Structure 1
Amino acid sequence: MTDPVPDGGPVLRLEAVRKTFGDGQVVLRDVGLSVPEHSVTALIGASGSGKSTLLRCVNLLEPIDDGAVFLDGAEITDPRVDEDAVRRRIGVVFQAYNLFPHLTVLENVTLAPRRVHGVPRAEAEERALELLDRLGLAAKAGAYPDRLSGGQQQRVAIVRALATGPRLLLLDEITAALDPELVGEVLAVVRDLKERGMTMLLATHEMGFAREVADQVCFLDGGVVLEQGPPERVFGAPTEERTRRFLSRVVASGRLAR
């Protein structure tokens, strides 16, 4: 079941996206969804349901087999599209921090703006320091990643994704590798980004957080968007039996309070 998305033109739109891996395994089946500007869409579902693959297809890290992906109305899955130009408009944060260990925090954050976008060093560093300060990391600008906690490293990874001024931010299970006590500080950053109007598509196992921060929730099962709508309906009154079974297990595990 699909409910209308919030008001505002879609920054991202997927139409009948299909992805099959080499062994014939269908990972995404005719996926369609729309992410309006200044909104947060949360992808939920069991491991292996296709959430991470969907994000990789949006960022063109995985080619799709059928369908189309549009960014601001332009098809980005057209074979003639400059993939690097598309990726410069999309920020991505993965489970692993992927920080360069031989570079300081400031150098990690300014690398892409300087090398990929051609931003002068002084301008890139000024922007980076503003973002680091906003996320409570100004004092760590000269530190190396191995001197940071997991939560701090993930926040740096988010700053790095924001430093290029992305049109869309993709977050792939960004708390999965964190100790429980560090999860809160990273989720607080996402809340702040939402308040500032960042358009986000995120895959998460944090059901309570998805219910709190998302404008719409998409439940994936076997590569299909089985149900989507506002969080109060998807979590409070799901229409699909498979969604109800999934959420009941989540509640039983203590990861979502009724």
Structure 2
Amino acid sequence: MTTVLSVEGVHKVFGDRHVLRGISVDVDDHQVVALIGASGSGKSTLLRCINLLEPVDDGVIRLDGADITDPRADPDRVRRRIGIVFQAYNLFPHMSVLANVTLAPVHVHRVPAAQARAKALELLARIGLADLAGAYPDRLSGGQQQRVAIVRALMNSPRLLLLDEVTSALDPELVGEVLALIRDLRAEGMTMLLATHEMGFARQVADRVCFLDGGTLVEQGPPEQVLGDPQEPRTRQFLARIIESGRL
């Protein structure tokens, strides 16, 4: 199986905070890997390093075998191949859904406007939002806005999709529609690395689960092993608290 993403011994330091401590993880083609752990464990920082939004202090990140942390790597070219969706939708309020989705392809990546529009309408139709292409974000529910943000990340047909707690800002009744879209992407073979607090969803959709704690990768393996029969005491402690809160 082809390895799409390889993170090798990555460290990240902010001032006196050592946020990532030698993280190593691989994501293979068509695989979904879920990052779990408490807030502050390093999940979001790892995703930001992979998308070159934060420089690493040590270690190497490879995309399809190429070292994207090499200073000579072009961040814009790398980001065309890696889509990322954040907790906040980050849609421009003064622009329509269609304009939000086509902005980067047209103005950054120089895709012809008609081509970008056609692809955007096709993707919006697939998630049932084609009729809202001309609407502004304030007319959309949180779940709809997050689905639009995912469509925006898919516009460049990314090799890898990064999802950073994409349901955490949603009301509980809106979470399901976003998770359903991610399930559809998995079924279509999208390669994904996602940080999530949704343990039940991680169990359903992930091929592998990685538990981070204090910037270290404590344990990783199939969902049934990590979530059902964890080997490390810290993993067991974390999951016990999740179970107590009714989230697993």
Q: Residues 18-51 of structure 1: CA distance to partner in whole angstroms, max 9, x if unpaired? A: 01112x2100011000000101000000010000
Structure 2, unpaired ranges of 5+: none
Judge conservation of contact 1:112–1:164 (CA < 8 Å) in 2: no
Moved over 4 A (4+): none
Q: Residues 76-121 of structure 1: CA distance to partner in whole angstroms, max 9, x if unpaired? A: 0011111111111110100000001111001111111111221111
1:80 aligns with 2:72: yes
1:239 aligns with 2:231: yes
Within the candidate set 122, 128, 147, 2:139 is matched to: 147
Identity %: 72
- TM-score under structure 1 length normalisation: 0.95
User: Aligned residue for 2:183?
Assistant: 191
1:34 aligns with 2:21: no
Amino acid at match of 1:211: R
Aligned length: 248
1:93 aligns with 2:85: yes
Within the candidate set 127, 133, 136, 1:135 is matched to: 127
RMSD between aligned alpha carbons? 0.6
Q: Residues 181-233 of structure 1: CA distance to partner in whole angstroms, max 9, x if unpaired? A: 00000000000000001000000000000010000000000000000011011
User: Aligned residue for 1:3?
Assistant: none
Within the candidate set 83, 103, 111, 2:95 is matched to: 103
Amino acid at match of 1:39: Q
- TM-score under structure 2 length normalisation: 0.99
User: Aligned residue for 2:2?
Assistant: 9
Amino acid at match of 1:20: V
Within the candidate set 135, 156, 174, 2:166 is matched to: 174
Judge conservation of contact 1:18–1:27 (CA < 8 Å) in 2: yes
